[in-house]
Amino acid sequence: MGATEGSRLGKHTSTTRDGGHGKPVSTAPPQGFLERYARISSLDYPVPEHGRTPAYTLGGISFVGFVLLFATGVLLQQFFDPAPERAYASVEHLGKTVPGGAWLRAFHYWAAQAVVVTLLLHLARVFVGGVYKAPRTLTWFAGVALLATALFGSYFTGTVLKWDQESFDALMHYREGLKLLGPLGTFLGSTEAVSLNVKLFASHVTLLPLLLVLLLAAHFYLVHVHNLSPLPFGKDSTLAALPPDRMTGTFMEHTRSILLYAAIYYGLVGVLAWAVPAPLGAPVTGEEMSIKPPWPFLWLYGIENLTGRMDTMMHAIAALLILLALAPLLDRGIDRHPARRKGTMAVGAAVLLAIVGFSLYAAIAPPQLHHHEHMDMEMDMTAPAAMPHPEEPTHDDTGHPHSP
């Protein structure tokens, strides 16, 4: 064995003779389970020192929230019946009868709000810091898709499931929005075989979580490949990545900071869930009422109030997502300093002010009744109970029974 190889191996192991019998005994330091079987030390690669600051842990805090929402959602699913005629009663049963059920539902509800907050703050930090610029453009696209899926997919469908009057109003808007999708909307909105409520429940617990997992995997992979971005100020504002000698932090330190801040953040959410129950409105009456939506959708409610048109809400959502997607394509310089990106900052500020303005208007203005074309309520409210059992006879137009 050469001297070089021997010294290299000697850093990790050495041998002694057991009691003079000549049996070698390893004195290598013991390895933990995760290190031995998963080589977790390979994740401890260098990252910028600012990876431990709260602003640069917002994405990780959001991920912890997704995990908590998935875990609590699995538990809630054991007590929830998505059939329209039984959904409301099952939610009431959970809160009044199941031990800890009221807190569990409240935590799921408030954690969803908390994740939306961290996602929006993370988006704002990335936008202001110009992190969407090359080479992190694909990372930005994955993040925008994540926001759209979480907010307009998972969060929205979650508001429908409890099937109170607010849910009915949300479902009416969903049906109106499907009409703008042409044949795809007709397919998604069909209730011939199963009620729309059950379809949305299936999406909420299967399709949307799967899509989120795929987007998260792509997003994390790209973050790993390109590492955390340098700060957008000073001499680092034109750097795509810090030089190796300035990578003074580690990914494990970054992860520990995420877990610490997440524990504090969602711990407070747990206290809030204990103090403030999740709301449950009046049961569905089948009639439209003037009910305001949850706060993430107030700006859309304000737009509909002012225009009187449902399609303007869909156009506003599309415009917002398109503007976000266009950011790296229009702002293509290498400098990420906000003061030297005045045009981009002005557009971003205008969009933010518009959203805040519409939201404040909707919050202050009296609730307005928005008339939509009524859906087939017999199918959407009582579809499972109304559909005949395959073994039961039905009746023809003359009232005589016949086999299906």
Full-model pTM: 0.84
Q: Is 349 helix (H, G, I), strand (E, B) or coil?
A: helix
Please answer whether residues 116 and 151 qualify as being in contact, where contact means their C-beta atoms are separated by less than 8 angstroms: yes
In order, the DSSP letters of 117-167 are: HHHHHHHHHHHHTTTTSTTSHHHHHHHHHHHHHIIIIIIHHHHHHT-BHHH
Dihedral angle over CA of 218, 223, 224, 225, nearest 10: 90
d(CA 252, CA 263): 16
Residue with tokens 């100020």: 233
pLDDT for position 227: 95
Provide the b/e sequence for 260-280 (b: ≥16 CB within 10 Å).
Answer: ebbeebbeebeebbeeeebeb
pLDDT for position 311: 87
Alpha helices for 1-54 (secondary structure H): 3-10, 33-38
Taking residues 273-302, report their average pLDDT: 90
From residue 187, give the alpha-carbon distance in Å to each of 175, 181, 274, 285. 11, 10, 41, 26
pLDDT tens for 242-281 read 999 999 999 999 999 999 999 999 999 999 999 999 999 9
pLDDT tier at 22 (50, 70, 90 boundaries)? low
Please answer whether residues 310 and 304 qualify as being in contact, where contact means their C-beta atoms are separated by less than 8 angstroms: yes
Residue closest to 66 by CA, chosen among 201, 202, 220 = 220
In order, the DSSP letters of 158-192 are: HHHHT-BHHHHHHHHHHHHHHGGGTHHHHHHH--S
3-7, 90-94, 218-222, 281-285 — which is least confidently predicted? 3-7
Please answer whether residues 250 and 47 qualify as being in contact, where contact means their C-beta atoms are separated by less than 8 angstroms: yes
d(CA 351, CA 316): 11
Percent of the chain with pLDDT strictly greater than 70: 83
pLDDT tens for 23-46 read 555 555 557 887 888 888 888 899
d(CA 72, CA 231): 36
Task: Provide the token pair at 129.
Answer: 């810091």
Q: Is residue 18 over pLDDT 60?
A: no
R_g over Cα of the chain: 27
pLDDT tens for 168-190 read 989 888 888 888 888 888 877 77
Domains of the chain as residue ranges with CATH: 42-129+136-286 (1.20.810.10)
d(CA 363, CA 378): 33
Q: Which of the two residues, 368 and 278, has the higher pLDDT score?
A: 278
